[in-house]
Chains A and B, each alone.
Chain A
């Protein structure tokens, strides 16, 4: 049971990441490679706030604001230029890959490639006994916060004007424009929400290891792609379920096979899903595109 909780906690972080990527894919049809860097920049934003003595909730909000701002900046500059020029999907991919390298280089130089300590003061510490098992309070907090964020996102998408506007733009920007919806505003909103989710994941990764570095998010990019392919690209419930399943699979692969193969598991998941069900678990007819 404890290992399942370990897996669900990791999986909830993966789900937060996958949600951000799937949101961008669903609305803009862009597979964004900057997401891991947005996560890292968000984590650094919260670190600066923590080091300046702000309480943890405020620091998390600062991190989310940094990541959201960075995401919107990326969208409103480079990606907007590509959209105006009618660039192909591959141009967006290459552009975001280039931006990711650039963002990582900036952080690496600014931090002199150091691993920065990330204070755990203010975060839950130690274990709590649950059904006879020692469950880390921090993991429970991560799991609970992630689930609340995901539920909030689902409610926002389905029950608010902006959320419905996002769905309309995802379906057809031209039709949405005729309905009085500004697609550029919706794109900015999508990037804002995506960045905030990435930052939340970044904070959880940083506090989990009590450290943050320019490469903190590197490994997670592939995981985010695995999550959305497993769940179905563009599907919000797919990202949640995909993240949680992948987290649990990785933990059991680590324990019963070897941690050397936990990344292999992610690749295998991609391969198997692409071969057996190219649209993912919640893809095609079952998918709810945002």
Chain B
């Protein structure tokens, strides 16, 4: 009897969860009602085609503006709810995209053309991502997709956008293989696995390490890719693997894994995870007396992480694709704008969202129309793009040529790290 009640209750939970998903779909649909243009996809397509032909003539001038007053609709699929560790990232990306769009609009670089962002919450869930992107394509009739917080969501939903022929700029994903999904896919955050692989061995050797233990988040394509690349690079450099432990994005207790790492006797610990879990991991490492150098992941220097972890993160080293200390490109302005406009400290995820919208806007201005092929061509041809990640452009594989920077946390501050940097724990 009790079993039947419990099973019934759990079934009810699943039903309600499903019902809530339906509610969200309904609310998304209601957004169309507020936007009459959504019901006129054919006319808008015709307008886009006309504009494209105009742009052909203007394509020789990289500063050409779209010649007709039009609204370019950009779908923005991001994880805005779900586990806080993930939704925090998606919300940062969305805020920064809105900030960038304000700046683009104020600059007048698009002439009469305006960009309308259509955010959709993918909830850290692949099925939600697919449903959301299909809605953006079929109902909202977007001209491009600029978004995606997590690699699994992108890998599930990105192909839908590729098939629809839309330009796609992936803002938050950092795993390998993103641009291989289609010739119209670009990315902002570089393949961080290659950044880490290039830097970890040098850092480990500088620290005099001969062995390493690993803790990585195992339910994310991004962190699994990073972990595998780092492990391979360090083993290639002769660093013995003493222990490999994993956690999931929902975990809050890491003591079991950290105890195993402590018992392994490794010289260094390599953490590949998400910022939302760093504080717990480092504080619990401190609790059990695990006192070995740590090579962490980008995002370790986020303010909230440092606020939470305090001295437990002293001397942690990590390689970042973005850093506030980078004074090239639009970064100094970006750092200040996040502070003044968003009342927060800039970080990787703000930077990714910011550059995503600026990159698309620049391509739109260069293309002179919302025609997908013209925007893809413009993205391929952009040179010396000035963004929050510095000055960069896309290579033949549509990967941004962004070089990383090594950083260290000292006394709750993030400073550049070099082999000569000293740190006292």
* Residues on A facing B (Cβ under 8 Å): 2-3, 6-7, 9-10, 31, 33, 89-90, 93-94, 97-98, 101, 108, 112-115, 117-118, 120, 125-127, 134-139, 205, 208-211, 213-216, 218-219, 225, 229, 233, 250-251, 254-255, 258-260, 262-263, 270, 274, 278-279, 283
Distance of A174 from chain B, by nearest CB (Å)? 21
Distance of B21 from chain A, by nearest CB (Å)? 12
Distance of B11 from chain A, by nearest CB (Å)? 10
Q: Which residue of A lies closest to B303 (CB)?
A: A117
Asked if B304 lies at the interface with its beta carbon under 8 angstroms from chain A, I say: yes
Q: Which chain A residues lie closer than 8 Å to B16 at the CB level? A: 94, 97-98, 101
Q: Are B12 and A94 in contact (CB under 8 A)?
A: yes
Asked if B6 lies at the interface with its beta carbon under 8 angstroms from chain A, I say: yes
Q: B48-56, B96-104, B285-293, B355-363: which one contacts chain A?
A: B285-293
The 8 Å CB contact of B280, one of A90, A209, A270, is A209
Q: Which chain B residues lie closer than 8 Å to A112 at the CB level? A: 91
Q: B37-45, B133-141, B255-263: which one contacts chain A?
A: B255-263
Q: Are B84 and A114 in contact (CB under 8 A)?
A: yes
Asked if B87 lies at the interface with its beta carbon under 8 angstroms from chain A, I say: yes
Q: Are B246 and A258 in contact (CB under 8 A)?
A: yes
Asked if B296 lies at the interface with its beta carbon under 8 angstroms from chain A, I say: no
If the complex has contacts A136-B284, A138-B287, are A113 and B256 also in contact, measured as CB distance less than 8 A?
A: no
Closest 3 CB pairs of A and B: A213-B84, A209-B280, A136-B287
Distance of B263 from chain A, by nearest CB (Å)? 8
Q: Are A97 and B12 in contact (CB under 8 A)?
A: yes
A sample of 29 inter-chain contacts (CB < 8 A) reads A3-B256, A6-B253, A31-B6, A93-B8, A101-B16, A101-B20, A113-B84, A113-B91, A118-B308, A120-B283, A126-B287, A127-B288, A135-B288, A136-B287, A138-B287, A139-B255, A139-B287, A208-B284, A209-B283, A210-B283, A211-B304, A213-B85, A251-B255, A255-B245, A258-B246, A259-B218, A259-B257, A263-B250, A274-B7
Per-position contact with A for B246-276: 1 when CB-CB < 8 Å, else 0? 1110111101110110110000000000001
Distance of A63 from chain B, by nearest CB (Å)? 17
The 8 Å CB contact of B287, one of A118, A127, A218, A278, is A127
In the assembled complex, the Cα of A94 lies from the Cα of B283 at a distance in Å of 38
If the complex has contacts A89-B5, A90-B9, A209-B279, are A260 and B219 also in contact, measured as CB distance less than 8 A?
A: yes
Q: Are A31 and B5 in contact (CB under 8 A)?
A: yes
Please count the residue pairs between chain A and chain B whose beta carbons lie under 8 angstroms apart in the complex.
154
The 8 Å CB contact of B289, one of A126, A258, A279, is A126
Q: Which chain B residues lie closer than 8 Å to A250 at the CB level? A: 256
Q: Which of A97, A125, A233, A270 has the most CB of B within 10 A?
A: A97
Q: Which chain A residues lie closer than 8 Å to B309 at the CB level? A: 210
In the assembled complex, the Cα of A249 lies from the Cα of B2 at a distance in Å of 24
Q: Are A115 and B251 in contact (CB under 8 A)?
A: no
Per-position contact with A for B156-186: 1 when CB-CB < 8 Å, else 0? 0000000000000000000000000000000
Q: Which chain A residues lie closer than 8 Å to B308 at the CB level? A: 115, 117-118, 209-211
Q: Which chain B residues lie closer than 8 Å to A258 at the CB level? A: 218, 246
Asked if B31 lies at the interface with its beta carbon under 8 angstroms from chain A, I say: no
In the assembled complex, the Cα of A33 lies from the Cα of B83 at a distance in Å of 18
The 8 Å CB contact of A115, one of B2, B12, B260, B304, is B304
Q: Which of B20, B287, B304, B309 has the most CB of A within 10 A?
A: B287
Asked if B46 lies at the interface with its beta carbon under 8 angstroms from chain A, I say: no
Sample of 12 further A-B pairs with CB below 8 A, known A127-B289, A208-B252, A260-B219: A93-B13, A94-B16, A97-B16, A113-B81, A113-B88, A114-B84, A115-B276, A115-B308, A117-B307, A126-B286, A225-B6, A255-B256
Distance of A191 from chain B, by nearest CB (Å)? 18
In the assembled complex, the Cα of A118 lies from the Cα of B308 at a distance in Å of 7
Q: Which chain B residues lie closer than 8 Å to A214 at the CB level? A: 84
Distance of A268 from chain B, by nearest CB (Å)? 15
In the assembled complex, the Cα of A250 lies from the Cα of B254 at a distance in Å of 11
Q: Are A115 and B85 in contact (CB under 8 A)?
A: yes
In the assembled complex, the Cα of A214 lies from the Cα of B85 at a distance in Å of 10
Q: Are A2 and B259 in contact (CB under 8 A)?
A: yes
Q: Are A90 and B288 in contact (CB under 8 A)?
A: no
Q: Which chain B residues lie closer than 8 Å to A274 at the CB level? A: 3, 6-7
Q: Which residue of A lies closest to B87 (CB)?
A: A113
If the complex has contacts A125-B286, A136-B287, A209-B283, are A259 and B246 also in contact, measured as CB distance less than 8 A?
A: yes
Q: Which residue of B lies closest to A210 (CB)?
A: B308
Q: Are B88 and A211 in contact (CB under 8 A)?
A: no
Per-position contact with A for B1-39: 1 when CB-CB < 8 Å, else 0? 011011111101100100010000000000000000000
Distance of B20 from chain A, by nearest CB (Å)? 6
Q: Which residue of B lies closest to A97 (CB)?
A: B16
If the complex has contacts A10-B253, A208-B280, are A125 and B81 also in contact, measured as CB distance less than 8 A?
A: no
Q: Which chain B residues lie closer than 8 Å to A233 at the CB level? A: 2, 6
In the assembled complex, the Cα of A147 lies from the Cα of B6 at a distance in Å of 27
The 8 Å CB contact of B83, one of A2, A215, A254, A278, is A215
Q: Which chain B residues lie closer than 8 Å to A279 at the CB level? A: 2
Distance of A71 from chain B, by nearest CB (Å)? 19
